A and B are shown apart, each in its own frame.
Chain A
């Protein structure tokens, strides 16, 4: 009886001292949202870069009134019939799937480009995709361990079990159905607190491990993965910025008295569309979003290690993070060409 009392006392003390993972639920969920948005900006930024290069190619064709050839329109994807085998069934869902090689879409090209298999930017590097997956999976796991709904479901299950046990005892003619039900609820409460503590300890261990350099002089693992993604986004943004600024420069040289007002207006509109994207790329540095994300995680590590965590400071950092990731996402996904750009500028 003495040891039972001490277990209850220890659990009560642990509960009162704030060892609950759910206090971080909202913050982790918000950081998770920003990481998802960062992830989206890589894919949407890459797509926008492909679109930029297509628009750039078209502008060059129009400016030079080039002779073109139709190419890659006969490159049909033919897949052979494959009956599933035991080996297929043994494959795990996360086994890497062979990706088809990049291909240039059916379109008109310069004769010199006809046999090139790929003109646009290369697909995203596998290591970048792996880094984005590792980061989003980690944030998803933090969200899972701090998910307060799990605790609500657990509480509901304990209540149901207590009621069911009490009911069967009464039906069996047992004298103490209500007492047994209350006992189950107490057991459920104890087990629930033990599980909460296990979750909190797991949260604490994970964020500390990911937020601490493996050896002196190294970076924090979390920061290194975020930097790898940020540097790739920066390269993507730089690719877009260079291509667009070069196009603005070339098109600007054609503006003057020598062109009709209609052509001047069309080219100016084209320039303004590109300039708007360059402006948003100039003012949304991926490094700002990366810095805010690293700071948010460092503050999360600090908060879980503290007796009385400073959640207000963490919330402010997360707010900044959200704004910066959102600006970056908008800048990277912005279309640089007006809908009718391919038809004007001749």
Chain B
């Protein structure tokens, strides 16, 4: 059975802790001065191992099939969330536009009403007095 992401991360962490301990012990052997060269060289080897362990774990996790599955689930959930979030914003947009057009309609009706009232007033004012 292939290792899970958790297995890979845990194993790498345990190895890194062991290497940290080795590095700590080696570093403690320094006395100061150029005589420390072999110790510095030994430390560099431990650092290289530490780097290799971390790089290998990261590489294996990125290549794991579990990550592909996880990314698929995350991407699908993101699409679903965005679709739902869009419903309210779309409804809001439709309502805003509708309100705007109804506003134009109200203006037009009021305008029409004013014209009708004006026409009636003009008709009434131009009606000859005492006729009819």
Contacts and interface: CB of A to CB of B under 8 A. Distances in A.
Contacts of B12: 231
Nearest to A152: B92
B36 to A, nearest CB: 6
Contacts of A203: 81
Contact of A219 (B6, B33, B48, B100): B6
A316 interface: no
Contacts of A245: 43, 47
Contacts of B103: 164, 167
Contact of B102 (A137, A147, A165): A165
A10 to B, nearest CB: 19
Interface size class of B (residues with CB under 8 A): 35 or more
Interface in B32-65: 33-34, 36-37, 40, 43-44, 47-48, 50-51, 54-55, 57-59, 61-63
A227 B5 contact: yes
A19 interface: no
B116 to A, nearest CB: 11
Given A150-B85, A206-B77, A238 B55 contact: yes
B65 to A, nearest CB: 10
A252 B13 CA distance: 29
Nearest to A171: B109
A225 B66 CA distance: 9
Interface of A, helix, strand, loop or mixed by DSSP: helix
Contact of A209 (B73, B87, B99, B102): B73
A246 interface: yes
Interface string B66-106: 11011101111111111011011101110110111011011
A85 B51 CA distance: 47
In this complex, which of B67, B98, B100, B105 has the most chain A Cβ atoms within 10 angstroms of its Cβ?
Answer: B67
Given A150-B92, A168-B105, A245-B43, A224 B5 contact: yes
In this complex, which of A134, A195, A198, A228 has the most chain B Cβ atoms within 10 angstroms of its Cβ?
Answer: A228
Interface stretch (A51-59, A95-103, A125-133, A260-268): A125-133
Nearest to B113: A171
A209 B81 contact: no
A160 B106 CA distance: 13
In this complex, which of B13, B34, B81, B105 has the most chain A Cβ atoms within 10 angstroms of its Cβ?
Answer: B81
A66 interface: no
Contacts of B4: 217-219
Given A161-B95, A199-B85, A225 B67 contact: yes
Interface size class of A (residues with CB under 8 A): 35 or more
Contacts of B51: 235, 238-239, 242
A232 B6 CA distance: 14
A227 B91 contact: no
A154 B92 CA distance: 5
Contact of B61 (A141, A231, A242): A231
A249 B74 contact: no
A151 B99 CA distance: 17
17 contacts: A138-B78, A140-B78, A145-B85, A202-B80, A218-B69, A219-B5, A221-B71, A221-B73, A224-B66, A225-B71, A232-B61, A235-B58, A238-B50, A238-B54, A242-B48, A253-B34, A256-B33
Interface of A: 125, 127-128, 130-131, 134-135, 137-138, 140-142, 144-145, 147, 150-151, 153-154, 157-158, 160-161, 163-165, 167-168, 171-172, 188, 191, 195, 198-199, 202-203, 205-206, 209-210, 214, 217-219, 221-225, 227-228, 230-232, 234-235, 237-239, 241-242, 245-246, 249-250, 252-253, 256, 287
